[in-house]
Amino acid sequence: MQALSRRQLIVLVLLTLVWGINWPIMKLGVTDFPPLTFRTLSMWIGLPFLALVLVWRRVPFRIERAHWREVGVLTLFNMLIWHTLVMLALQTLSGGRTAILGYTMPVFSAMVGAWWFGQWLPGRAWGGVAAAGTGVVLLLWHEITQLSGGPMGVAMMLLAALAWALGTQMLRRTRLPESTLTISFWMTVITMVWMTLLSMLFEREAWAWPTLPVWGAIVYNALGVFAFAQVAWLTLARDLPPIASTLSVMFIPVLGVFSGALWLGEVLHWQDWAAVILIMVAIASVLWPPRSTAARVAAPRGG
């Protein structure tokens, strides 16, 4: 278990806010607009701002030729599968809480880490995983009938979450010497090209000029998600143990549900409030310092 530094905590809070309210914003954006094209436009607009961040921070763009294969694998599991399946699933799943399926990722991540990578987890971490999983089920409580009507969408979301979980575990273990900003930039470039091809192949006949609200959602995704949140997440996932980085973002679906209730008029139930408590327990289980650490911090200094 690893405690967050002050800087990581600030990044996590901002990441939670940006990604959390993005769900109702994205839902608004894709309601009457092709979803793959929506994501593609967001990437095309967000990429230049991400490039400016590299220039401002004086981070090199270059990746060694020998490292491109690993960058490609990381892109596949962290971005290509996720963005493709999520945007397609949005067309078949009904209800604002269905996107919460994507946040089964921490549960998958714990299982992948333990069974595939042989990562030992203390009992407290498994308790957090169980609490997070139960919280996700409660958030989906009133959507079960709708989900049963869209099995393909459910399958795509769960597969996307599994791929994201595997990608997070792989990113934590990478030995690439390049900066996370550099890796993020090129992962976004590869994904942008992929999404552009998909939108041209499957949505070209549905292309239309976005309305003002759709443009607002596109710009929010471009700046908030791809110029900030995506990089922030990859940095946390690379710097923190996978169980800490994954469970630490579990408040994002909660914020998505409650912001959807506020902006889209979705009804909240007691299960949603119970889920908040469970997910807070899950986050605390991995971010709260162990007793030994707390005792060292509290102990008076000699001399």
Cα–Cα distance measured from residue 68 to residue 210, given in angstroms and rounded to the nearest whole number: 35
Which tokens in the block code for residue 71? 């960058």
- pLDDT average, residue stretch 23-45: 89
What are the angstrom distances between the C-alpha of 55 and each of 45, 60, 238, 259, 266? 17, 8, 21, 35, 42
Question: Residues 157-214: pLDDT tens digits?
Answer: 788 888 988 888 888 888 899 999 999 999 999 999 999 999 999 999 999 999 999 9
Please report, as a single letter, which amino acid is at residue 20. Answer: G
- pLDDT average, residue stretch 81-85: 92
Question: Residues 99-157: pLDDT tens digits?
Answer: 567 777 777 777 777 677 766 666 666 676 777 677 777 766 665 555 554 567 777 87
Write down the pLDDT at residue 197: 96
Cα–Cα distance measured from residue 42 to residue 107, given in angstroms and rounded to the nearest whole number: 29
What are the angstrom distances between the C-alpha of 151 and each of 80, 92, 133, 148? 21, 9, 20, 6
DSSP 95: S
Q: Is residue 295 classed exposed, middle or buried when 0-12, 13-18 and 19+ CB atoms within 10 A define those classes?
A: exposed
Confidence of residue 95 (pLDDT cuts 50, 70, 90): very low
Which tokens in the block code for residue 121? 């987890």
Question: Residues 249-303: pLDDT tens digits?
Answer: 667 777 777 776 776 666 667 776 777 777 777 666 655 555 554 444 344 444 4
Which tokens in the block code for residue 216? 């607002």
Cα–Cα distance measured from residue 1 to residue 298, given in angstroms and rounded to the nearest whole number: 19
Q: Which residue has the tokens 């020998």?
A: 66
Domain boundaries, the chain: 6-290
Q: Which residue has the tokens 């690439």?
A: 176
Please report, as a single letter, which amino acid is at residue 68. Answer: W
